[in-house]
A and B are shown apart, each in its own frame.
Chain A
Amino acid sequence: MIPPALYLALSAVIFTIGVIGVLLRRDAIVIFMCIEMMLSAVGITLIAASRYLHSMDGVIFVFLAMTVAAAEAAVGLAIFVLLHRIYKGVKVDEINLMKW
């Protein structure tokens, strides 16, 4: 039996790496990947909790979060490709199309 604290610790490590990546990197695609990583880290926590509490709710939440992540990927990457044609490289501090 693997202790649940191990899952929580691993999830915390991945979430921390994701937060640092979002703050440190300027490439929008890498930031997007870090957000996906953070979503998955929370998924580990939820499923570990629902496994050790014998509940179904965490599994459903992760199912819904995965679907949201897929929808986000579809729209986000289309926006990145479009932005790349305008700016030649998707750096988040150079994109100011909606600033007036």
Chain B
Amino acid sequence: MSLGEVIFVVICLVVALGALGAVLSNSLIYAVFFLLLTMGGIGGLYIYLKTPFLAMMQILIYLGAVGVLLIFAVMLAGPFWRRPKERGPFLKGVAGLGVSLLSFILFWRVLRHHPWEVGPQGEVSTSRIGRAILDRYPFAFELISLLIVASILGAIMLGVLSRQGPPKAEED
């Protein structure tokens, strides 16, 4: 087992344990940090998959943007250390496992019986990604920028709304 494989196994364990911790942790802020661990590990997996551009994107967006936003939200929505222990019924977890297993079996059968065609060899470089976006998916790219503008405007509107004071929760 080479060093690269050892590091790969460690990253896999970090990702899986981080995901478990994010779901099972009682403290909200610990759950956020576990999630960030998972996201960073997934960025490491992207490097193993030879797409360093997406690894950088993952780290920038998830660890940088979403992580900071989540921590802000948790801090603003505190006091997170005084939350009572909450756990849904155990049966729901079994249901989730069953749903995932069913979809896994479905996808496995589809994957096995689909005739996959392997394209020509080639490194996934950043310039190839940029060319593919502008050549084959320009419409999706434009739509995504529109979506980002709309979401920024929506977040600003929500901020303005919250400054005007909360609306009445119980009208009746």
Chain A residues at the B interface, C-beta cutoff of 8 Å: 2, 6-7, 10, 12-27, 29-30, 33-34, 36-37, 40, 43-44, 47-48, 50-56, 59-60, 62-64, 66-75, 77-82, 84-87, 89-91, 97
- B32, A47: Cβ atoms under 8 Å? no
Known: A18-B23, A64-B144. 12 other contacts (CB 8 A): A19-B96, A21-B96, A26-B88, A33-B70, A34-B23, A59-B124, A66-B57, A67-B144, A70-B148, A71-B151, A81-B76, A85-B162
Q: A19-B96, A20-B93, A78-B154 are in contact. Are A48 and B133 (CB under 8 A)?
A: no
Give the chain A neighbours of B116 by CB distance below 8 A.
53
Q: A56-B128, A60-B132 are in contact. Are A47 and B51 (CB under 8 A)?
A: yes
Which residues of B76-134 are within 8 A (CB) of A?
76-77, 83, 86-88, 92-93, 95-97, 99-101, 104, 116-122, 124, 128-129, 132-133
Residue B74 at the chain A interface, CB threshold 8 Å: yes
- Leading 9 A-B pairs by shortest Cβ distance: A71-B151, A21-B23, A20-B96, A16-B100, A78-B158, A84-B77, A77-B73, A54-B119, A23-B92
CB distance from A53 to the nearest CB of B (A): 5
- B122, A59: Cβ atoms under 8 Å? no
- B23, A2: Cβ atoms under 8 Å? no
Bin chain B's interface residue count.
Answer: 35 or more
CB distance from B47 to the nearest CB of A (A): 11
CA distance A14 to B8 in the complex (A): 16
CA distance A36 to B148 in the complex (A): 17
Give the chain A neighbours of B161 by CB distance below 8 A.
82
- A86, B69: Cβ atoms under 8 Å? no
Candidates B23, B119, B129; contact of A59 at CB < 8 Å: B129
Candidates B62, B83, B169; contact of A40 at CB < 8 Å: B62
- B100, A19: Cβ atoms under 8 Å? yes
Q: A27-B86, A40-B39 are in contact. Are A54 and B122 (CB under 8 A)?
A: yes
